[in-house]
Amino acid sequence: MAREVALRLEIEEERPEPRKRWKRLLSTARKHPLGVFGMGCVSLLFFCGIFADLIVPYDPEATLRETQTYGTLVNAIKPNETRLTIANAQLEGGTNFDIDGERMTVLPLPAPKVSATGTIINVQRASSQSAHEAGATLELDTAIANTKPSWSHPFGTDHNAKDVLSRVIFGARISLLIGLTAIITGVTAGAFFGVISGYFGKIIDTIIQRCVDILLAFPAVVLLLAIITVVGDEDSSVRRFLANNTPLPKGEFIGIPTFLDVFIVALVIGLAVAVFTTRVVRGAVLSIKENVYVDAARAMGASDARIMMRHIFPNVAALVVILGSVLLPVAILAEAAISFLGVGVPLGTPSWGADLSDEKSRQLMLEGYWWPVFFPGLALSLVVLGFNMVGDAFRDLSDPRLRGSGLGGGGGGGGAGRGPI
Amino acid sequence: MRDYIVRRLLILVPVMIGVSLLTFSLFNIIPGDACVLRLGFGSTPETLKACREAHGLNRPLFPVSVNSDLPVIHVQGDSQYGGWLWDIVAHQDLGQSLAEGGAKVSTELERRLPITLELMIMTVIFALVLGILPGMLSAIRPNTPIDWIARVLSVLWLSIPSFYLAILMITFGLLWFGWTPPQFGRGYVPFMDDPWVNLQQFVFPALVLSVGIAAVIMRLTRSAMLEVLRNDYIRTAWSKGLRERTVVWRHALKNALIPVVTLVGLQIGALIGGAVIIESVYNLNGVGKYTLEAIIRRDLFVVQSLTLMFALVYVSCNLFVDIAYAWLDPRIHYN
């Protein structure tokens, strides 16, 4: 008997607690490969969003240019000469190029003439004092627009000669910023009104719930479009208030050129989140306030504020956190949708939705330049997919009845990552 | 039951009044009224005044106003808000566009509503087929390859944004198959005129829009079906020797579909939002595209009337769903 106890103790000593936990985590991960994949997507979103300016290969706003060797000079040109013959080059009027460091501009008229030796063009010279020998190379300074995905530009460049990969990475930052701002403001406001509405009941409850009814009577996309048109207007009072009375930067901030516009979009999405949260939290509070400990606290003379803070709110906190994490992808998707419709963030902001809606890019896509639209959309889809897969895995793990059955969630389980769009 | 419907209808009245108030004031807090927006910077005080008189913008905004002098509450018989609502309720007149030509909203709706309705009906049909069948299959064969494929499909469909899917379909349809939907370059063709072209116009927009809803339906069908299959009456059906087809279709699916029906009704909001997006991508001149254009043009009269109509449709659908739920499931009583 004694030996058995000693043996068991020994065994337990051999297995330290942390390794066991690791093993359990690993085996859980192996059972939910989709959840692991989703977790990867979500982590990538957070990583790219937080470290965007450290990991981007290029500036997402900068027009990329490169100097290109473009043909050679056929005959020597003397000072003051503006006519030259070049080999292997077709240059349009207005193009700039350099010969031995001297800047020249192709004159549109008279038109270039093609002869047996090369193309004869007329140029305007920056300094007419230098001569150039035959065989000197022409250096052309061009914008790198519409280049295919390659090693130097893994996602290619768009028609504005901007690096698509850098824009997608900054898009993660904008999505994350809008998502988190909308969720934090929305869920906080929603929890506040929900707790007050559920706790006080009567007239306060009626007023708040009728307001919620009215806001819920609109289809979400229509409501967002309408409010953003009004609030995002250049001289709307909300914008002026935010610009003048808050420390929010008016111009560029953390690499986002139109920070205020992005922030306003986030606040409007936050409003929609708040409406939904208010309704759900109120329902939970109605049952929580019937508990005996609430009566006990009141009997001990606790004030309403104290009861709400110390006894009601901690009990809805978990619900609020879950709501926030479920609504985060919905908020990200909502931003992309309204930016796609041209009402959200201003065009040119490296947001996924705005990049998808770029008229010129979409036109070029039909001609085979698919990458400037394809990759932002792919990033958006992967992020939403990631959140949904993580959500599914968690639901699986937390509901023992559905363990092993994959999808769970009973009644309304389906709608997790979807919502308004 | 009748009392319940009456009570819900009565609650609807104050909600709709609130909705109309919100819509109206939302579009009247933009600095500069509709005439300033329409005439732009080139307007003189005279033309502005003429425009305001023509559109009735010189009237007070609300029928009731609060002032500091006595009597504190003033009632105006003729106000912009009152006129707008009265025209809608009494004359079914939704106002007219501010743009040149000033098309009436009701005539535009008459022209565009069939397009949106056809899109929505086809979307719902696709969503039901794409959702219920795989959902049912994966529930009766849990943890088999069919089940895994259905589950992965559902989460993929749930996640891909409809506008992205639409762009991909248009682009790669053109690049790989050289095919574009016939509405580009050619207007809407009614079903009665040429059913084949009409279907070609709608099949892809409806498919794209239905994918997200189908995913939700698939998941709900699957979990409802699993729930139902655990019931005693299913075991009874098996043990009395019924064929699988009878058990699944007659006993299980029928009961599993009750929550699905209500879910479809509740998706009307997503459907309206989706129509706004998909109609503009697929160049369908429906109500959704009309709304978006009006919002971008700041055509206030059109936007406020359309928003009100959307809210009305949405709220009535939700009410209808609640009633249908009680009618389908006799166990539910509303008191």
pLDDT, tens only, B218-248: 988 988 888 888 888 888 888 888 888 888 8
In Å, how far is B165's CA from the nearest CA of chain A? Answer: 9
Residue B210: pLDDT band (50, 70, 90) is: very high
- In this prediction, residue A183 carries a pLDDT of 94
Which of B28, B147, B164, B277 has the most A C-beta neighbours within 10 Å, making it the best mutation to test the interface with A? B164
Contacts of residue A412 in chain B, CB cutoff 8 Å? 220
A70: tokens are: 């473009």
B202: tokens are: 């709608």
- In this prediction, residue A420 carries a pLDDT of 37
- In this prediction, residue A196 carries a pLDDT of 92
Facing B161 at nearest CB: one of A213, A218, A336 = A336
Tally of residues, chain B:
335
Tell whether B231 is within 8 A of chain A (Cβ). Answer: no
Tell me the per-residue pLDDT of B293-314, one tens digit each, with 9 for 90 and over: 888 877 788 888 888 888 888 8
Nearest residue to A420 via CA among A297, A336, A298:
A336
In Å, how far is A72's CA from the nearest CA of chain B? Answer: 38
Tell whether B129 is within 8 A of chain A (Cβ). Answer: no
Contact B15 A213 (CB under 8 A): yes
- In this prediction, residue A223 carries a pLDDT of 87
Helices A371-398 and B162-177: angle between axes, nearest 10 degrees: 130
- In this prediction, residue B190 carries a pLDDT of 76
- In this prediction, residue A190 carries a pLDDT of 93
Contact A409 B219 (CB under 8 A): yes
> Residues 6 or more apart from A59 whose CB is under 8 A from it?
A166
Contact B270 A210 (CB under 8 A): no
Contacts of residue A370 in chain B, CB cutoff 8 Å? 171, 175
Q: What value does the mean pLDDT of chain B take? A: 82
Dihedral of CA A187/A191/A194/A196: which sign?
negative
Q: How far apart are the first and last CA of chain B?
A: 8
Contact B27 A230 (CB under 8 A): yes
In Å, how far is B310's CA from the nearest CA of chain A? Answer: 7
A124: tokens are: 């305007």
Rounded CA-CA distance B67/B61 in Å is 14
Rounded CA-CA distance B81/A60 in Å is 47
Name the percent of chain B in helix, strand, coil, to the closest 5.
75, 0, 25
Helices B300-328 and B105-140: angle between axes, nearest 10 degrees: 40
Burial-class residue A80 by CB neighbours within 10 Å (0-12, 13-18, 19+): exposed
- In this prediction, residue A395 carries a pLDDT of 78
Contact A210 B14 (CB under 8 A): yes
Helices (H) and strands (E) in chain B, counts: 14, 2
- In this prediction, residue A406 carries a pLDDT of 40
CA A37 to chain centre: 19
Which of A41, A212, A228, A230 has the most B C-beta neighbours within 10 Å, making it the best mutation to test the interface with B? A230
Rounded CA-CA distance A270/A179 in Å is 9
Rounded CA-CA distance B133/B123 in Å is 16
State how beta strands A102-106 and A96-99 pair: antiparallel
- Closest B-chain CA to A211: B18
Decide if pLDDT at B258 tops 70. yes
Which residue's entry shows tokens 């699986």?
A396
Rounded CA-CA distance A260/B89 in Å is 40
In Å, how far is A375's CA from the nearest CA of chain B? Answer: 10
Contact A222 B291 (CB under 8 A): yes
Rounded CA-CA distance A260/A253 in Å is 9
- Closest A-chain CA to B273: A221
3-state secondary structure (DSSP) of residue A154: coil
Nearest residue to A265 via CA among A233, A304, A235:
A233
Contact B159 A217 (CB under 8 A): no
Rounded CA-CA distance A19/A13 in Å is 12
Rounded CA-CA distance B256/B220 in Å is 9
- In this prediction, residue A407 carries a pLDDT of 39
Contacts of residue B292 in chain A, CB cutoff 8 Å? 225, 341
Decide if pLDDT at B64 tops 80. no
Which residue's entry shows tokens 């339906």?
B217
Predicted structure pTM score: 0.82
Tell whether B223 is within 8 A of chain A (Cβ). Answer: yes
Facing A388 at nearest CB: one of B155, B295, B298 = B155
Q: Which runs of consecutive H residues, i.e. helices, occur in A201-236? A: 202-216, 220-231
- Closest B-chain CA to A414: B216
Mean pLDDT confidence for B114-130: 91
State how beta strands A83-87 and A119-125 pair: antiparallel
Tell whether B267 is within 8 A of chain A (Cβ). Answer: no
Contacts of residue B263 in chain A, CB cutoff 8 Å? 414
Rounded CA-CA distance A347/A353 in Å is 9
The percentage of residues in chain B with a pLDDT greater than 70, rounded to a whole number, is: 89
Contact A219 B226 (CB under 8 A): no
Contact A237 B155 (CB under 8 A): no
- Closest B-chain CA to A215: B19
- Closest A-chain CA to B298: A229
CA dihedral A280, A282, A286, A292 (to 10 degrees): 100
Greatest mean pLDDT range, A43-57, A124-138, B257-271, B315-329: A43-57
Tell me the per-residue pLDDT of B138-159, one tens digit each, with 9 for 90 and over: 888 888 888 889 888 898 998 8
Facing B163 at nearest CB: one of A233, A340, A388 = A340
A42-57 burial, b if ≥16 CB within 10 A, otherwise e? beebeebbeebeeebe
In Å, how far is A18's CA from the nearest CA of chain B? Answer: 32
In Å, how far is A160's CA from the nearest CA of chain B? Answer: 20
Contacts of residue B276 in chain A, CB cutoff 8 Å? 221-222, 225, 341
Tell whether B36 is within 8 A of chain A (Cβ). Answer: no
Mean pLDDT per 10-residue interval, chain A, length 421 residues = 55 59 80 86 90 82 75 76 74 76 76 73 75 77 78 82 87 91 94 92 88 86 85 73 74 75 89 91 88 89 88 89 89 91 83 86 83 91 91 76 42 35 37
- In this prediction, residue B78 carries a pLDDT of 74
- In this prediction, residue A414 carries a pLDDT of 33
Contact B272 A219 (CB under 8 A): yes
Contacts of residue A414 in chain B, CB cutoff 8 Å? 158, 215-220, 223, 263
Which of B41, B223, B278, B325 has the most A C-beta neighbours within 10 Å, making it the best mutation to test the interface with A? B223
